[in-house]
Amino acid sequence: EAGVVQSPRYKIIEKKQPVAFWCNPISGHNTLYWYLQNLGQGPELLIRYENEEAVDDSQLPKDRFSAERLKGVDSTLKIQPAELGDSAVYLCASSASGGFNGELFFGEGSRLTVL
Partner 1 sequence: QQQVKQSPQSLIVQKGGISIINCAYENTAFDYFPWYQQFPGKGPALLIAIRPDVSEKKEGRFTISFNKSAKQFSLHIMDSQPGDSATYFCAASTDKLIFGTGTRLQVFP
DSSP 69: -
Q: How many CB atoms are closer than 10 A to CB 4?
A: 21
Least spacing, CB of residue 36 vs partner 1, in Å: 11
Angle of CA points 5, 10, 13, to nearest 5° = 135
Minimum CB distance to partner 1, residue 108 (Å): 5
Of 12, 100, 113, 115, which one interacts with partner 1 (CB under 8 A)? Answer: 100
- Contact pattern for partner 1 over residues 54 through 93, marking x by CB under 8 A: --x----------------------------------x-x
Number of residues that this document lists for the chain:
115
Sign of CA dihedral 92, 77, 39, 63: negative
Q: Per CB under 8 A, does 22 bind partner 1?
A: no
Please report, as ranges, the residues that interact with partner 1 according to CB under 8 A.
4, 40-45, 56, 91, 93, 99-101, 103-109
